[in-house]
Amino acid sequence: MSAWCESPDPEQIEAGRRLGALFRETRAGRDPATVAHSAGISPETLRKIEMGRLPSPGFGTVVGLCAALDLPLDTAAHVWLGEPTGCPPLSGSGGHE
């Protein structure tokens, strides 16, 4: 089976749930369809991400949602990694070590 067809592992599922919760909380009272449209995704995709049913959204989707929600990408990265959101910005060191 190809890597892209494999089921996500439990850590990836939990990371997706954290990210979905962050997007849901950040969206707050904003209309989901408006946010989804602004991010370039369907409202159904936004719903799946927010509910943790899409544990590994694509990078472009995450970037689009961050832009639509005026959410720093670093914050989303820290939440995905399970780090406190008060961590210093991720540097150009090649990622998380």
Domain count, the chain: 1
Does the pTM exceed 0.85? no
Q: Answer yes or no: is 75 within a domain.
A: yes
Which CATH number belongs to the domain containing residue 68 in this structure? 1.10.260.40
Which residues of the chain fall below pLDDT 50? 1-2, 93-97
Task: Please tell me the distance from the alpha carbon of residue 5 to that of residue 2, in angstroms, as a whole number.
Answer: 5
What would the 3-class secondary structure string for the chain be?
CCHHHCCCCHHHHHHHHHHHHHHHHHHCCCCHHHHHHHHCCCHHHHHHHHCCCCCCCCHHHHHHHHHHHCCCHHHHHHHHHCCCCCCCCCCCCCCCC
Per residue in 65-91, pLDDT (tens digit) is: 999 999 999 999 999 999 876 655 555
Q: Answer yes or no: is 89 within a domain.
A: no
What pLDDT is recorded for position 1? 43
Q: Answer yes or no: is 16 within a domain.
A: yes
What pLDDT is recorded for position 94? 45
Write down the mean pLDDT value for the chain: 86
What pLDDT is recorded for position 22? 96
Domain that holds residue 35: 9-81
What pLDDT is recorded for position 2? 46
Q: Answer yes or no: is 88 within a domain.
A: no
